[in-house]
Chains A and B, each alone.
Chain A
Amino acid sequence: MNFIEQKRNDVLVEVINLARATLKEADDFKTILLKAIESGERKIVVDFSQCDFVDSTFLGGLVVSLKRMTAVGGDIRLIGFRPAVRSMFELTRMHKVFEAFNNLDDALTSFAK
């Protein structure tokens, strides 16, 4: 399984179970997120802790989903950045667009507020 889903109360947690999240899986991932938003999910946490690399296509899909999500008043928050992934977010200034947390609990608490 490339993506593992779990539900924590009203929060959907999406774990990216890939060392390299790239264009091969980007479309699937985008589809999953967009469908989740369509079916009414408003709080999504994406867990990157298994990931060592994200490419531009994958990031692009994530941003498209975020845009769709903010339009309906929800949010996508991120956790589990490894150094290389964190750098990629910082270099692209995407860290200013997404809210990121150290662990799942922090992200869930942030949604509970």
Chain B
Amino acid sequence: MKCFILGAGKGKRLQPLSNELPAPMFPVLNKPLLLYIIEHLKKFHITDIRINLHHLPEYIDSYFEDGQNFDANISYSLEKDLLGTAGALKRTETFFGSTFIVHAGNSLTEIDLNELIYFHNQNHSKLTLAVHTDYERYQCTELSIDDKGKIVKSNLRQTKTDSKFDLIPSGVYVFEKETLDVIPTRQVCDIETDLLNLLLSQNTPAYAFIVKTGCYRVQYPKDLLKLNLKLLNDFSLDQNQLIHFSDSVQIHKSVIPKTFHPLFIGENSLIGKNVEFLGQAVIGSNVKIDEGAVISNAVIFNNTYIGKNIEINNSIVFQNLHINTRSDFSIYVNDEFIIDRYKVSNFANSFSRILFRTIDIVFSSVALIILSPVFFLIVIFIKLDSKGPAFFISRRMQQPEIIQKSKNWYRFQPEKIVKYFKFRTMIYSRENEETGLDEKNIYEYGPFFKAKDDPRITRVGKFLRKTSLDELPLLINVLRGDLKLVGIWGLPEKEAIGIQTKGVSNKDFDISETARIRFKGELGLAGYWQARGRSELSTEERILHDSIQSISDIDDELLLKHLGEYKKSRSVKGYISLILDTVKSVIRKKGAF
């Protein structure tokens, strides 16, 4: 019996991983997924295999060649344009015998193919789909069957999450050659949708074979992570051994006694001193994990360097990367941006963090104690002036949700919100209403908003804003550790999202990239913009101050070399002088209204 493997797809849902590697070549315990498929077919003496290719074909045919090294006879059907999964079969019609198997190139199963074929023959089926039950699919063909397994209805279902999908195709099909006659020539046609519907409409018998054994279809990057970790777990149980690696691997002696999760390490990889594995990990070949890195639930592809003390959790790290930043629920694919520009926490930095945090705590608690009578008075005035609570919580963003994509890289960072404590300066419950004040915005373009004479502001509010006393409760945020004394001014959600999505530009002029640097900085009370006149400054000046403030926040030795005098702001003296500058500016009532 012959088998046709669908290896041509562009893997849209698997982007960005599929941009540089076709899905059948994705590593599963450091071997290509397609190799598992071929090994599985061989168990049932199916060795005559044709693979269709289109997207990055060279990765597949240069690995498997004619199949000799894999005890199989492999040929290829190179497609210039894609005609869908069924269209691909039609093209290479002469290859097939009377009954044959079609296998998705992204599907790994433990299906008993003998049983599947027996079921197909017994029912005189013209097309049999192996099906299983799965969760967390976004979009899927779902089948309804009668008690014999005959398909009565197929339905393309879409759902958000968590709902259970019954009877969805596993990517393994049994065909009769005559079924190909139904497929239109030179037209896009997919097996699970177009062809199946055609057969159903003609009352041609199509059956679903319910699979009880493992079925893993890699349709989203997350599936690849899950599949790797699942197989690693099974493999470790099977071998009764936690850590799997060959002689070419070097692991520092400090690592093994502390490793309690299954680990799979490829050839020539190096694991440095005190590297911790807090969860399972599959590590490729020629990977270097430097001292003190912390890895859990991760798949790391070949030829990658993980920097010192870097944490990688729940992530896929693509090949040929140099990672120097913490990763959480992320996929990194040749992200030039993260390569040398990010936080590396070493001892000196941890020390300075503790030092600055101590300054923050001492300063804010002393200030809160001294200012407590002022707080008391302000609360009374607000209460007397207008109805409603004395305090107001303003949701500010250090960083909106960021998804950066380009041809070669992809990066996702979840949004970070901090609740700012302020004195209420507006009429209660009007703070969030649409203002209709856009004309009064002092910024002529761009994301920032600030209006003079906002009608929502109360009498006491006007005074508090003028004197910036409305910001005093932010000292509580500092004490709580939400903010630093020195840092970027947190933006309201709308403004932050505006910078991220629309950017800051008009015709012929675009400083969006500069503006987005602010999302790397930490939030704080005092800073360059705050000390240099705030609302007196234009959008561009504000952006420059904020971006430079953020850059001086980033802990990176390489970066520090280029910071020039801005290094000063990283010293205690610089930190305190920025606080004093800001206080001075506030007292002079510069740019506050």
Contact = CB atoms under 8 A, between A and B. Distances in A.
Interface of A: 20, 23, 52-53, 55-57, 59-61, 63-64, 66-67, 70-71, 83-84, 87-88, 90-94, 96-97
A70 B508 contact: yes
Contacts of A55: 548, 565-566
B557 interface: no
A100 to B, nearest CB: 15
B541 A92 contact: no
B545 interface: yes
B336 interface: no
Contacts of B243: none
A56 B544 CA distance: 6
B541 A63 contact: yes
Contacts of A61: 541
Interface of B: 506-511, 513-514, 517, 528, 532, 537-538, 540-545, 547-549, 551, 559, 562-566
Contact of A94 (B514, B537, B563): B514
B446 to A, nearest CB: 10
Contacts of A83: 562
Contacts of B545: 56-57, 60
B562 A91 contact: yes
Given A84-B562, A94-B514, A66 B541 contact: no
Nearest to B538: A64
A61 to B, nearest CB: 7
* A90, A93, A96, most chain B CB atoms within 10 A: A93
A97 B511 contact: yes
A56 B514 contact: no
Contacts of B514: 92-94, 97
B549 A56 contact: yes
Contacts of B507: 70-71
27 contacts: A23-B532, A52-B564, A53-B565, A55-B565, A56-B547, A56-B549, A57-B541, A60-B538, A60-B541, A60-B545, A61-B541, A63-B511, A64-B541, A66-B509, A71-B506, A71-B507, A71-B509, A83-B562, A87-B564, A88-B548, A88-B562, A88-B564, A91-B551, A92-B547, A92-B548, A97-B509, A97-B510
Given A23-B532, A61-B541, 5 more contacts: A63-B543, A64-B541, A91-B551, A94-B514, A97-B509
Nearest to A61: B541
Contacts of B548: 55-56, 59, 88, 91-92
Contacts of B510: 97
A112 B186 CA distance: 55
Contacts of B511: 63, 94, 97
Contacts of A90: 562
Contacts of A88: 548, 562, 564
Contacts of A92: 514, 517, 544, 547-548, 551
Contacts of B562: 83-84, 87-88, 90-91
Contact of B544 (A59, A70, A96): A59
Contact of B537 (A20, A60, A66, A84): A60
A53 B506 CA distance: 29
A53 B517 contact: no
A83 B514 CA distance: 19
A93 B517 contact: yes
Nearest to A87: B562
A104 to B, nearest CB: 24
A55 to B, nearest CB: 7
A20 B565 CA distance: 10
Given A23-B532, A56-B545, A91-B559, A67 B540 contact: yes
Nearest to A75: B508
Contacts of B528: 56-57
B537 A93 contact: no
Nearest to A58: B544
A91 B538 CA distance: 21
